[in-house]
Amino acid sequence: MALLMASCLVFMGTTACAGDDDITHNPPGANVRVGPVLIRYAHIAEPPDGPWEEGDDAPFYLWLFNQGQRSDTLLGAETTAARSVDIVSADGAVRDPVDVPTGELLELEKGHAHLALTR
pTM above 0.85, yes or no: no
pLDDT in tens, the chain (119 residues): 554 455 455 444 433 344 444 545 555 567 899 889 999 999 999 898 888 888 889 999 999 999 999 999 999 999 998 999 999 999 999 999 999 999 999 999 999 999 999 98
At 53 the pLDDT is 87
Please, are residues 37 and 52 in contact by the beta-carbon 8 Å criterion?
no
pLDDT of residue 97: 96
Give residue 58's pLDDT. 94
- Mind giving me the DSSP string for the chain? -HHHHHHHHHHHHHSPPP--TT-SS--SSEEEEETTEEEEEEEEPPPSSSSPPTT-EEEEEEEEEE-SSS-EEE-----TTSSEEEEE-TTS-B---EEE-BT-EEEE-TTS-EEEEE-
Number of domains in the chain: 1
What pLDDT score was predicted for residue 81? 85
Q: Is the dihedral of CA 47, 4, 77, 66 positive or negative?
A: positive
**CATH at residue 41:** 2.60.40
pLDDT of residue 28: 55
**Residue-number span of the structural domain to which 34 is assigned:** 2-118
